[in-house]
């Protein structure tokens, strides 16, 4: 049934089997040539569609309408969640260290940093809900693009279920969907590139130029969000090389124009890296390195499953393996497998050496969601299991969000790492009450980059913040210790004793004296005691000493 006016809801409307063999290839070139369920933007259909278009009630049961309701409901949940928690360690770091606008940054390319910087300046506030707002809004686009991509490749009911699965998987719907992280803009840009790529493959003459150019633009934005986008984009090249009916595009200028546009957009990141000794490229390239971990890939897969939820991860892999077995004979599925495989395989295998983060493979699973959406849509009527799966997953996610908010607020289990989601705002009030913030030339410091982010965010830029540890990240570029030689420094050192601080930082100062610890408050209750120290007369050798500790 079409999505522009069909009289029945997608879960209960009859649906023909997907095209097979030569029909799949025909459908990939021309989505209107095979009588599958109506695709996005396909405004024609049978008599039932024309009849359904006459009534608003019938339209309200279409996949498009249901996706709109999904977007609205999920966005409201995200806004409430974003307003209930302080910024995480990565978020605080990006907001605070990103106050100084640059072409790129130590950890990642600039888009997420620019988004947080832009909204903070527009709103005149760095509160959690404000800086997270553009990421919540961007996920509206991400959900729509998932629906669009899946609908174009398969049908609108499949697009609906792909959008539902996207919002239910925590690594997509929770973290990327509302936190200040580079994954949000990465996912939106990759899906935009995929939608434009499909349209370009199905277009001729002038339209093809436009779609391929748009695909290159989205690819450039993806690279400006996160370097790992190159793996998914490389999958598109693999598809063009291995799918017989699409291979001729490699002999045409369109893909190369897309590549030039992508590199042009990414060029400022390259220029910034060249001016800073390629620090960002070298940092990311070195992260998977380390001793051999034979069980690393198994642990990586387990972590990926946990981030997605095992009962979403398992079906995703099953759909991917099934599509892999069909190969290029099913161009739609083969395209998704080619886009998905590189990040999943690279970061799973990389776990043999080093501690890869589980969410690094998420772009691969993102591209498998349309296959899962198609599987759910074609089994929904006949399998009660799928309805149970949906209800259970939605309940699990919502209850989980409520428990996280309650635990962060009330700290029922002190050993849980909920302190990462509590801001140190009360520290600014306490330091001000001691007169330290008005002390001329005073600098604040920590020993870890993530503590520097928490401290800097809490102080709101009132005094400079430096990182005296061996891994300062962006603070090593924007707030070098040698720029504050001779200054007195208030040092925040979580979980460190006087002896430990003196051993680690003693050579950097004339002397270090302990100060009364500060109490970090959360929801009006004491959360933790933060040890404070005053270092007198910071030495110029601070940077050299820090490097010697690496």
Q: pLDDT value at position 49?
A: 47
CA 289 and chain centroid, separation: 23
Tokens for 341?
């495989």
Nearest to 157 by CA among 393, 368, 375: 375
Q: pLDDT value at position 493?
A: 93
Q: pLDDT value at position 384?
A: 77
Range from 23-27, 439-443, 545-549 that averages highest in pLDDT: 439-443
Q: pLDDT value at position 414?
A: 61
Give the integer Cα–Cα distance in Å for 152 and 158. Answer: 10
DSSP character string of 389-452: HHHHHHHHHHHHHHHHHHHHHH-SSTTSGGGGGS--HHHHHHHHHTT-TTSTT-EEEESSHHHH
pTM: 0.87
How much is the average pLDDT of 281-290? 83
Nearest to 218 by CA among 250, 235, 196: 196
Is the pLDDT higher at 522 or at 361?
A: 361
Spans of all domains in the chain: 63-184+293-402, 422-548
Instruction: Dump pLDDT digits (tens) for 239-273.
Output: 999 999 999 999 999 999 999 999 999 999 999 99
Is the pLDDT confidence value at 42 over 50?
Answer: no
Out of 267-271, 370-374, 430-434, pick the least confident.
430-434
Instruction: Dump pLDDT digits (tens) for 479-508.
Output: 999 999 999 999 999 988 899 999 999 899
Is the pLDDT confidence value at 8 over 50?
Answer: no
Is the pLDDT confidence value at 545 over 60?
Answer: no
Angle at 542 between CA 539 and CA 547, to 5 degrees: 160
- Inter-residue contact 520 to 530 (CB < 8 Å): yes
Residue 379 banded pLDDT, cuts 50, 70, 90? confident
Is the pLDDT higher at 277 or at 17?
A: 277
Is the pLDDT confidence value at 315 over 90?
Answer: yes
Give the integer Cα–Cα distance in Å for 318 and 303. Answer: 17
Is the pLDDT higher at 296 or at 47?
A: 296
Tokens for 525?
């209750």
Q: pLDDT value at position 60?
A: 56
Give the integer Cα–Cα distance in Å for 37 and 154. Answer: 8
Residue 159 banded pLDDT, cuts 50, 70, 90? very high
Q: pLDDT value at position 26?
A: 52
Residue 544 banded pLDDT, cuts 50, 70, 90? low
Residue 59 banded pLDDT, cuts 50, 70, 90? low
Q: pLDDT value at position 420?
A: 78
Contacts of 152 (CB under 8 A, 6+ apart): 31, 39, 40, 41, 195, 198, 199
Residue 1 banded pLDDT, cuts 50, 70, 90? very low
Q: pLDDT value at position 272?
A: 97
Residue 40 banded pLDDT, cuts 50, 70, 90? very low
Is the pLDDT confidence value at 39 over 60?
Answer: no
Residue 314 banded pLDDT, cuts 50, 70, 90? very high
How much is the average pLDDT of 35-59? 45
Is the pLDDT confidence value at 283 over 80?
Answer: yes
| Ordered strands of the 465-467 beta sheet | 465-467, 443-446, 489-492, 525-536, 511-522
How much is the average pLDDT of 394-408? 89
How much is the average pLDDT of 103-124? 96
Mean pLDDT rounded to a whole number for the chain: 87
């Amino acid at each position: 049934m079409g999505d522009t006016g069909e009289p029945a809801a997608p879960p209960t409307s009859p649906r023909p089997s997907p095209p097979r063999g030569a029909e799949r290839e025909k459908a990939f070139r021309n989505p209107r040539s095979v009588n599958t369920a109506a695709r996005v933007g396909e405004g024609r259909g049978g008599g039932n569609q024309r009849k359904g278009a006459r009534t608003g009630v019938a339209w309200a049961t279409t996949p498009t309408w249901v996706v709109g309701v999904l977007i609205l409901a999920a966005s409201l949940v995200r806004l409430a969640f974003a307003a209930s928690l302080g910024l995480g360690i990565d978020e605080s770091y990006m907001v605070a260290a990103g106050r100084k606008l640059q072409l790129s940054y130590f950890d990642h390319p600039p888009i997420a940093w620019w988004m947080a910087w832009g909204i903070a300046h527009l709103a005149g506030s760095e509160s959690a809900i404000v800086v997270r707002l553009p990421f919540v809004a961007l996920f509206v686009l991400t959900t729509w693009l998932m629906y669009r991509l899946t609908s174009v490749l398969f049908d609108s009911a499949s697009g609906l279920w792909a959008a539902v699965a996207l919002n239910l998987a925590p690594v997509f719907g929770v973290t990327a969907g509302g936190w200040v992280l580079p994954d949000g803009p990465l996912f939106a840009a990759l899906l935009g590139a995929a939608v434009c790529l499909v349209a370009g493959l199905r277009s001729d003459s002038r339209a093809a130029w436009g779609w391929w150019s748009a695909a290159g633009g989205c690819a450039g934005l993806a690279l400006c969000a996160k370097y790992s986008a190159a793996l998914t984009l490389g999958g598109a090249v693999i598809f063009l090389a291995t799918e017989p009916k699409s291979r001729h595009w490699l002999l045409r200028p369109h893909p190369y124009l897309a590549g030039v546009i992508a590199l042009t957009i990414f060029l400022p990141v390259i220029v910034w890296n060249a001016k800073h000794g390629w620090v960002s490229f070298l940092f990311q390239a070195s992260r998977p390195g380390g001793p051999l971990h034979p069980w690393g890939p198994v642990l990586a897969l387990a972590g990926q499953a946990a981030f997605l939820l095992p009962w979403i991860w398992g079906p995703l892999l099953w759909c991917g393996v099934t599509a892999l077995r069909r190969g290029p004979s099913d161009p739609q599925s083969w395209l998704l497998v080619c886009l998905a495989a590189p990040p999943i395989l690279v970061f799973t295998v990389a776990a043999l050496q080093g501690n890869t983060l589980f969410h690094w493979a998420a772009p691969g699973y993102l591209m498998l969601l349309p296959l899962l959406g198609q599987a759910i849509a074609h089994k929904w009527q006949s399998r009660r299991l799928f309805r149970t799966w949906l209800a259970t997953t939605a309940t699990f996610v919502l209850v989980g969000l409520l428990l996280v908010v309650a635990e962060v607020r009330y700290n029922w289990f002190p050993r849980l790492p909920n302190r990462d989601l509590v801001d140190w705002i009360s520290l600014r009030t306490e330091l001000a009450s001691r007169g330290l913030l008005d002390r001329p030339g005073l600098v604040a410091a920590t020993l870890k980059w993530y503590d520097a982010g928490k401290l800097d965010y809490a102080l709101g830029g009132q005094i400079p913040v430096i990182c005296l540890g061996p891994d300062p990240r962006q603070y090593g570029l924007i707030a070098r210790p040698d720029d504050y030689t001779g200054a007195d420094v208030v040092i925040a050192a979580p979980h460190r004793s006087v002896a430990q601080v003196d051993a680690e930082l003693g050579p950097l100062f004339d002397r270090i004296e302990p100060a009364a610890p500060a109490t970090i408050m959360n929801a009006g209750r004491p959360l933790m005691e933060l040890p404070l120290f005053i270092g007198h007369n910071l030495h110029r050798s601070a940077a050299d000493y820090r490097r010697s500790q690496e």
